Amino acid sequence: VEMHHESLTEAVPGDNVGFNVKNVSVKELRRGFVCGDSKDTPPKSTEKFTAQVIVLNHPGQICNGYTPVLDCHTAHIACKFLEIKEKYDRRSGKKLEDNPKFIKSGDAAIVELVPSKPMCGETFSFQNFFLFDSSLLFFRAV
């Protein structure tokens, strides 16, 4: 395992590392491939996931069906808003509305997202990822 061409004995969450696998050529690997321990909680793809989002700066209303691009680790995948489950006050955490028709700039919400292609991600509280539309950042999500 190495990071920035320096050997490491271990890596911690958030480190972007490289490693070699015996009998696997670099030509066989592609961006987005995932590795893990097949005997101890192997990685799995997800068909949908729930996220807490804060709309940072979006010019309009966001409804179910909206499809921004998600950036998480090295993944860069379009994800559709399947359902806006609830809107809440981002300071107090108090629920404001169930199943709102839309969210807009400044709103915080719990949404269900569906990736447009296979995606692997770990269940983790407060894992940051970002959602973009036309290369402009509109969401910070956990």
The two structure tokens encoding residue 22:
């015996």
Q: How many CB atoms lie within 10 A of CB 124?
A: 9
Burial of 117 (0-12, 13-18, 19+ CB in 10 A): exposed
Average pLDDT over residues 33-61: 87
Q: Looking at domain 45-141, which CATH architecture does it have?
A: Beta Barrel (2.40)
Query: What ranges do the domains of the chain cover?
Result: 45-141
Measuring CA to CA, which residue among 111, 110, 122, 109 is closest to residue 46? 122
Write the pLDDT tens digit of every residue in 18-37.
888 889 998 998 877 888 88
- pLDDT at residue 113 is higher than 60: yes
